[in-house]
Amino acid sequence: MKPSGDAISPESIARNLQRIRANIGAAAVKRGRTPESVALIAVTKYSGAAEMRTLMDLGVTHVGESRVQDAERKFKELYTAHHAAKDKHDPAAINWHLIGHLQTNKADKAVRIFHAMHSIDSVRVAEAVNDEVNHLANGPQRALLQQLLLEVNVSRDPKKFGLEPTFEEISSLLKLCSEFENLTVVGLMTMAPHGDKPEVTSRPVFKRLKELFQEANARKSYRQPLTELSMGMTQDYAIAIEEGATMVRIGSALFE
Ligand SMILES: *Cc1c(COP(=O)(O)O)cnc(C)c1O
């Protein structure tokens, strides 16, 4: 993890964002896709509410957090301290993505903060969030959570979370989630191993996730086609886009 605390100027963030957007566009165009076909999720787990506000001012509409408690703190800071400044800082204008593992005892908080969860990897976690969303559905404060992605441990790294990278595993969880009335599974997520040769270590992982995604769609494992592939981080987002990523999760490159 990067040490936090070193302040980074809004100008540096703006410069980094501009460079990342250009790289995203170039990788998309290289494969005949439009730059808009890739959503940038700005991973803010190493930074605070001030940096998030800068990102929002620069037009970022998706933020990613790994831990529910950190997200909750920043969420409150942004939306209560800046209640007056509606528009861009309105919770409805920004999509919060949970990209880290969810402990089921935090599901009640998580469904009130996140629009999407990328880390669904068991029946237990899926049912916990579905129960919370249903529980809130008739009350005054609706859940913000709408979208789920299933996390797949393509590289079978014992230190990582995620489903086994087999069609059977993915398909059985998709079948269960097909019954959820208030939540939609939109796609699959993975993390490639850390390494300094992403051509060698990341590309095959992304290719495999895409194959599993295509197979799930071809065999209609879910009630509607999956559309999203969440893959690629600072080390390998250009490769991920070449392999079909529709969402890239980028942290370090924004704040370096
Ligand atoms: C931290 C994190 C990222 C961002 O990683 P960077 O290398 O900082 O871009 C992306 N996805 C997940 C799941 C993460 O935990």
Residues in the chain: 256
CA dist 89 and 96 (Å) reads 12
Ligand 1 contacts CB of residue 244 (under 6 A): no
Ligand 1 contacts CB of residue 40 (under 6 A): no
Summarize the confidence of residues 200-220 as an average pLDDT: 98
Q: Whole-prediction pTM value?
A: 0.94
Mean pLDDT across the chain, nearest whole number?
93
Shortest-distance atom of ligand 1 to CA 119: 13
Summarize the confidence of residues 66-86 as an average pLDDT: 81
Q: For residue 69, list its beta bridge partners.
A: none
Q: CA dist 124 to 39, 90, 130, 176, Å?
A: 28, 32, 10, 11
Q: For residue 196, list its beta bridge partners.
A: none
Answer yes or no: are the C-beta atoms of 111 and 136 closer than 8 Å. yes
Q: Lowest mean pLDDT of 62-71, 73-82, 164-173, 222-231, name the range.
A: 73-82
Nearest CA among 189, 193, 163, 159 for reference residue 176: 163
Residue type, 180: F
If one counts every other C-beta atom within 10 angstroms of the C-beta of residue 67, the result is: 17
Query: Given pLDDT bands bounded at 50, 70 and 90, which one contains residue 41?
Result: very high
Tokens matching residue 122:
């068991």
- Nearest residue (by CA) to ligand 1, atom 7, is 234
pLDDT tens-digit readout, 109-160: 999 999 999 999 999 999 999 999 999 998 888 899 999 999 999 999 999 9
Percent of the chain with pLDDT over 90: 88
Ligand 1 contacts CB of residue 45 (under 6 A): yes
Question: Which helix (H) or strand (E) segment is 72 a member of?
Answer: helix 68-81
231 CA to middle of ligand 1, Å? 10
Shortest-distance atom of ligand 1 to CA 253: 9
Ligand 1 contacts CB of residue 192 (under 6 A): no
Nearest CA among 91, 102, 189 for reference residue 144: 91
CA dist 79 and 255 (Å) reads 22
Query: Given pLDDT bands bounded at 50, 70 and 90, which one contains residue 90?
Result: low
Indicate whether 88 pLDDT > 60: no
- Determine the pLDDT at residue 122: 98
- Determine the pLDDT at residue 217: 98
Report the SS3 class of residue 176: helix
Ligand 1 contacts CB of residue 232 (under 6 A): no
Q: Dihedral sign for Cα 205, 206, 211, 216, please.
A: positive
Indicate whether 1 pLDDT > 70: no
- Determine the pLDDT at residue 89: 56
- Nearest residue (by CA) to ligand 1, atom 12, is 99
pLDDT tens-digit readout, 192-204: 999 899 999 999 9
- Determine the pLDDT at residue 6: 65
CA dist 148 and 118 (Å) reads 6
Answer yes or no: are the C-beta atoms of 170 and 216 closer than 8 Å. yes
DSSP string computed for 211-222: HHHHHHHHTT-S
Tokens 């969440």 map to which residue? 230
- Determine the pLDDT at residue 43: 98
